[in-house]
Structure formats: C-alpha cells, structure tokens
Amino acid sequence: MVGFGAYARTFTLNDPSNHGLVAPASGPGAAGAYTLAYFEVCTFLKSGATVMWNALQDVPYAYKGNQWIGYDNPKSFAIKVNLLSVISLCSG
C-alpha cells in the first residue's frame, strides 16, 4: 500500500534541539486553521522552518522551534510513482 498524503502529521517536540526521527514528543503539534492541508504545510515552511530529508522513507520533514511536521512533497510523490511503476512492470 502506498499513500499520497496531501496533509501533514505534526508533533510538539520535548526538546527543540532534538528534532530527528523518533525524537521525543509531548503530543500533537499545533493545529492548522483547517486540516493541516498541503497549503498550510507550505505556510509553515515559508515561516522559516528547516526542511530535512528522511532518506530511509524518502520523505521530507521540517521543524521550527518545538514544532515538527512530516509531509509529502513533489519529490516524494515522484519517488512513490516510480516505485509503483517498477512494481507494475514486475507483476504484469
């Protein structure tokens, strides 16, 4: 199963200096005005968030202060489409 999320997952970090994957969090992140849709992710990124790349899962994440956000972007979508193309070739 491959998901193409146009939304984000957020967490509030216990320690803003520890922002990597599996960093301890105290709970969910700040809510978006709507559903934390992709346009809200873009607003967060433009507000000065630092963008990182999770090479293991081929997806980005970003953080600013104690807020952490995981999301998909055009690059991660392209990687997923390529993976599906390879799977399709192998199964058919």
* Structure confidence at residue 55 (pLDDT): 93
Q: Spell out the domains of the chain, with CATH numbers in brackets.
A: 8-91 (3.10.50.10)
Q: Give the model's pLDDT for residue 16.
A: 95
List Cα–Cα distances, 42 to 71, 72, 86, in angstroms: 10, 11, 30
pLDDT tens profile 21-79? 899 999 999 888 877 888 899 999 999 999 999 999 999 999 999 999 999 999 999 99
Question: pTM score, two decimals?
Answer: 0.85
CA-closest candidate to residue 57, choices 79, 29, 25: 79
What pLDDT band is residue 91 in, cutting at 50, 70 and 90?
A: low
Q: What pLDDT does residue 92 have?
A: 59
Measured distance CA(48)–CA(25) in Å, rounded:
21
Contact in structure between 42 and 8 (CB atoms under 8 Å): no
